Structure 1
Amino acid sequence: MAESVPVRCPSCRREHSYTPNTYPCACGSPLTPRILRGGSPVRVEHHTWEDTWVTVRCDACGRRSQWPRPELGCPCGLLLRLPVAPLTSASPAVPGSPAEPPRQPAPTSAVPRPAFRPVTIRTGRDAVNAAAKYLRWLGFRDVLACDDRPGTGVDLRGTGVVAQVDPTTRPSALREVECLWLNGLNASAVGVFFSLAGYAHDARTRADELLVPLFVMDLTGTPQPVNDSADDLIRMGA
């Protein structure tokens, strides 16, 4: 199991315990990015392809491959990129490409469900598909992408749920959270928000007031809760 490391948010100074994801090397051995202890996390303002992948070396076979760089969503709304220890081995690089990560452990839940299998995100459509898969994993039925997204701002609809997925490189704004909440109210459904770049502070505060579950997703396609409403949704399911 990967070792947890302490991470302090440079904005709100809240300290988190972060455990990096473990991936399967082509040789079959587990492979985990090493978080640089004492390094300063960097606030993610814009996602670029080069910045979101990191080269990791397998201790078993020496193979080097690229995997999503470790990121952490702080409840204050910031998305933090964590520093990774530099490679020290002179082993020759073996070309690698991003691959679908292994089965992730399910969070503690009052509702029994299998472990969630994420979908690697490379495009905005991948982000929507990953969110849809996660909502189905939570127990929502008939979750489908919306054809009327430009007019409503809703990306996904299902029985008892509407969802918005923000794949942009800026924190999701207050107005987007409020619009999602209104869509949920009109549909008598829970509104769930997924963002790749976190949330503006006022958006995070308003979501807490409206009880809108907020999630951040990294490029492995694994949503992480950032407020109590999201924690409750994971625990209780649909």
Structure 2
Amino acid sequence: MPESVPVRCPACRRAHRFTTPSYPCACGAPVAPPLDPGWVPGTVDHRSWREEWITLRCGCCGLRGEWPRPELGCPCGTVLRIPVAGPGSAVPGSAGPAGRSGRAASRPVPVRTARDAVTAAVRYLRRLGHEDIRRADRRPPSGISLAGRGVLARVGPSDRPVTARDVECLWLTAMTESSACLYFSLTGYTGQARSRADTLRVPLFLLDLTGDPRPVNGPADTLDADGA
């Protein structure tokens, strides 16, 4: 059973019950962050990329990954950050199949926010074998960039389709860094974007609401079948 603990909002003193979330590892086993037994919840006053992610290790296969830091929203408007035990550790969640690390299938997580879209993209990149995914240092004109060794990915969580210019911008940036590149979008791609991506051999993926990236062009089909 997932760990469940009482939480009191320091702003309004309202009592809550926080249940530890679990995330699917690439091996298929659920991973949940262990809570610090002597913790006191803090508040989220401002957000930064580093503070929103923690390193967890799968208790079944030992694979380490970056996952969202546990948070709880109070009706008063305060967002509570839930402290976890030592970094780099984790415990298996509720029942789940154990397996090997690598490109094993993982259960998708529903995409409701831009953060969910980034999480789904990170999970897919790790499934391809890129374990060192992080937020890219260079901020793109649109979307969110993720980088790893030899790979650059762009996540387009906006309500407009990705354009040919978006694809070209990603490709040019990847070329300067000698990296492969791929694009994830929640709303799809224009016809010109698909044509340009085919010419430049940029894999395009559509993130549906289930959080499962679906290849939408030939390079993406090849990448999905063969891996990184």
TM range (shorter): 0.5 to 0.7
TM-score, normalised to structure 2, is 0.53
Partner of 1:205: 195
Q: Distance in 2 between matches of 1:169 and 1:209?
A: 25
Question: Helix, strand or coil: the match of 1:192?
Answer: strand
Show the 5 A alignment for 1:144-163.
Answer: 144-150=134-140, 155-163=145-153
Determine what percentage of the aligned residue pairs are the same residue.
53
Partner of 2:226: 236
Q: Distance in 2 between matches of 1:213 and 1:197?
A: 16
Q: Distance in 1 between matches of 2:199 and 2:157?
A: 24
Over residues 115-137 of structure 1, what are the superposed CA-to-partner deviations in whole Å (9 max), with x where a residue is unaligned?
Answer: 12212211111111110110110
The match for 1:177 among 163, 167, 172 is: 167
In the TM superposition, what is the alpha-carbon distance from 1:141 to its structure 2 partner? 2.6
The match for 2:104 among 101, 109, 114 is: 114
Q: Distance in 2 between matches of 1:192 and 1:154?
A: 12
The answer to whether the aligner puts 1:124 opposite 2:111 as a matched pair is: no
Partner of 1:134: 124
Q: Distance in 2 between matches of 1:207 and 1:150?
A: 18
Q: Distance in 1 between matches of 2:149 and 2:201?
A: 19
Show the 5 A alignment for 1:67-106.
Answer: none
Over residues 91-143 of structure 1, what are the superposed CA-to-partner deviations in whole Å (9 max), with x where a residue is unaligned?
Answer: xxxxxxxxxxxx9xxxxxxxx73112212211111111110110110112301
- Call closer, same or farther: CA 1:192–1:136 in 2, change over 3 Å: same
In the TM superposition, what is the alpha-carbon distance from 1:193 to its structure 2 partner? 0.2
TM-score, normalised to structure 1, is 0.50
Contact 2:126 2:133 in 1 (8 A): yes
Q: Number of aligned pairs?
A: 128
Q: Distance in 1 between matches of 2:140 and 2:184?
A: 17
Following TM superposition, the consecutive aligned residue runs of length 4 or more in structure 1 with deviations greater than 4 angstroms are 150-154
Contact 1:172 1:203 in 2 (8 A): yes
Over residues 159-200 of structure 1, what are the superposed CA-to-partner deviations in whole Å (9 max), with x where a residue is unaligned?
Answer: 111011011111111110000001111111111100011101
RMSD: 1.9
- Call closer, same or farther: CA 1:153–1:113 in 2, change over 3 Å: closer
Partner of 1:28: none
Question: Helix, strand or coil: the match of 1:155?
Answer: strand
Contact 1:214 1:227 in 2 (8 A): yes
Counterpart of 1:119, as a letter, is V
- Call closer, same or farther: CA 1:152–1:166 in 2, change over 3 Å: closer
Q: Distance in 2 between matches of 1:121 and 1:143?
A: 19
- Call closer, same or farther: CA 1:151–1:209 in 2, change over 3 Å: closer
Q: Distance in 1 between matches of 2:109 and 2:147?
A: 19
Q: Distance in 2 between matches of 1:218 and 1:152?
A: 20
Q: Distance in 2 between matches of 1:205 and 1:151?
A: 21
- Call closer, same or farther: CA 1:127–1:152 in 2, change over 3 Å: closer
- Call closer, same or farther: CA 1:152–1:172 in 2, change over 3 Å: closer
Q: Distance in 1 between matches of 2:140 and 2:192?
A: 24
Question: Helix, strand or coil: the match of 2:182?
Answer: strand
